Amino acid sequence: MKAARLYDYDPAMNVELKIEDVPPPTITAPDEVVVKVGAAGLCRTDLHIIEGVWKDIMDTQGTLLPYVMGHENAGWVEDVGSAVTSVKPGDAVICHPFQSCGICLNCRYGHDMYCDHGTFPGLGIDGGFAEYFKTSESSLIKLNTGITPLSVAPMADAGITAYRAAKKAARLSYPGSWTVLLGIGGLGHIALQCLKHISGGRVIAVDREPAAQKLAKDLGADVVLDGGPDLIEQVKDITGGGAHVVIDFVGELGVENICWKLLRQGGELIMVGYGGKIEIPTLDLVANEIKIGGSLVGDYIELVELMELNADGKVMMHQTEYKLANINQAIDDFKNRRFTGRGVIVP
């Protein structure tokens, strides 16, 4: 099969994935499933993998490369292990990105992403930038009738990461409250749609790119700002003292030290983007009684919920399609923000 493999880490990202012929994955355990890839989302985490940011976590022994990235996958079941009963060859599925064991205490509590024994296709083992990839039965969700793998693949990570953060924000929102979204890209535009359907509060969308600003307006943001040097003053003026919730989908490039300043007293910052370092005087933290916390990718049930919102036409993915052979162009376009929303790789 054709696959795009990473051979080197490079902080400057002056490397390209190599399109190669490699053996397709085969079933080696009773609960495994081979999926024929219909589409695979291109994530900012993929850029960070190439940069080597994840090396100490996913490649501790330095023996992983070359390998196949791609952790936002959807397609059709190709083959199943002997114990698999919930899906069969030909079924259209989306794949939760994390293969959890199902039996550790974290799994029993429903916290898939905290699994003590989980594996992550695309991060640490071969993923979906290929014609086929292997996952587990417990990671699969059948697609609703009329939903294609191409239309939802990035929901497998970008979608549920945004949805999880939006759910946290919705619990803190009420009619008249304000939530600020920083970055209306692959995650931010999904969070915006989610908030409009699960929260009664108002939403301010912030992005420097005109295309992203237009997308935010089209998706129903109450206010759209360009993130200029007077952003803090703008937000405080519009909200009457600061946002009740801020979700930072950027997390670097200086944004991580602006985001918390957008909050009112008692407000909460939800960090989703990463790469930078938050610096906040403890006096500001205490005197304003603000809260700062991270938000990881969503769990299996959150992907089920998001798929229902998608099937009802309430949350849709805005994306740009690339063939697998052109994956390096997709990566370059993503790095240089030449498209809005999400990039999707199609074999």
Q: How confident is the model at residue 340 (pLDDT cuts 50, 70, 90)?
A: confident
DSSP states of 168-214 as a string?
A: HHHHH--TT-EEEEE--STTHHHHHHHHHHH--SEEEEE-S-HHHHH
Do 193 and 219 meet the contact criterion of CB atoms below 8 Å apart?
yes
Taking 90 as the threshold, does the pLDDT of residue 275 lie above it? no
Taking only the tens place, the pLDDT of each residue in 175-204 is 999 999 999 999 999 999 999 999 999 999
How many other CB atoms are found less than 10 A from the CB of residue 283? Answer: 8
Mean pLDDT of the chain: 95
Alpha-carbon distance of 341 to 221, in angstroms, equals 15
Q: How confident is the model at residue 283 (pLDDT cuts 50, 70, 90)?
A: very high
Q: Which of 44, 58, 49, 252 is nearest to 157 (CA)?
A: 44
